[in-house]
């Protein structure tokens, strides 16, 4: 896919790999990147650096109303990068509760599914595009010390395969 003149949305764009995606997209000539983060102010440094090429966007992928608001605002998107992730460092059996495993599944699997479902019609309306799901080696090989993270990434990998098949036509 040609990045030049494209418009992208990146979840978890305020730091780490997400911030690197924003920088790479701008570096390859993207016209605009929506930098999604739970707190839009945490992505403001990218707006300050790149001006109107970056739009900070409040986006918690676990909140359906925020995903819907992103779709309503970002109608020009041709690339969706599902990067937001949660790794809470709790074991599955040894944790005091299932809260960490639920949050990891909610962000790492359901967040990917929610964004993909919401933005697929936008991509179609704009003549096609790409959905990029950031996965992990933890989703290829079960890592018992990764608690709910590893199963959530396995689920995201399976969802990616299914989504690709559904959108292929």
Cα(109)–Cα(119) distance, integer angstroms: 16
Mean of pLDDT over the chain: 96
Q: Summarize the confidence of residues 150-160 as an average pLDDT.
A: 96
Q: Report the pLDDT value the prediction gives residue 169, as an integer from 0 to 100.
A: 87
User: Which entry of 123, 149, 151, 160 is annotated as an active-site residue?
Assistant: 149
pLDDT over 90 percentage in the chain = 92
Q: Which class is domain 7-167?
A: alpha beta
Helix (H) or strand (E) segment spanning residue 52: none
For residue 42, the Cα-to-chain-centroid distance in whole angstroms is 16
- State in Å, rounded, how far the first CA of the chain is from the last one: 17
CB 30, CB 4: distance < 8 Å: yes
Do residues 84 and 12 touch, judged by C-beta distance below 8 A? yes
What would the mean pLDDT of 83-88 be, rounded to a whole number? 96
When pLDDT is averaged across residues 65-87 and rounded to a whole number, the result is 98
Write out pLDDT tens, residues 93-143: 999 999 999 999 999 999 999 999 999 999 999 999 999 999 988 877 887
- Predicted pLDDT at 137: 81
Instruction: Summarize the confidence of residues 7-28 as an average pLDDT.
Output: 98
Confidence (pTM):
0.96
149 is catalytic: yes
Query: What percent of the chain is predicted at pLDDT more than 70?
Result: 100
């Amino acid at each position: 896919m040609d990045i030049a003149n494209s418009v992208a949305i990146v979840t978890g764009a305020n730091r780490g790999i997400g911030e690197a995606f924003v920088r790479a997209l701008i570096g390859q000539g993207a016209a605009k990147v929506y930098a999604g983060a739970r707190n839009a102010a945490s992505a403001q440094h990218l707006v300050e650096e790149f001006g109107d090429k970056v739009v900070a966007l409040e986006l918690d992928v676990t909140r359906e109303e925020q995903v819907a608001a992103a779709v309503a605002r970002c109608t020009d998107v041709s690339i969706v990068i599902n990067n937001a992730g949660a790794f809470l460092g709790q074991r599955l059996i040894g944790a005091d509760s299932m809260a960490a495993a639920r949050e990891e599944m909610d962000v790492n699997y359901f967040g990917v599914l929610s964004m993909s479902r919401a933005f697929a019609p936008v991509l179609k309306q704009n003549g096609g595009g790409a959905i990029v799901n950031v996965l992990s080696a933890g989703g290829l090989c079960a890592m018992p010390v990764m608690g709910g993270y590893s199963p959530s990434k396995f689920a995201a990998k399976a969802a990616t395969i299914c989504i690709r098949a559904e959108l292929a036509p």
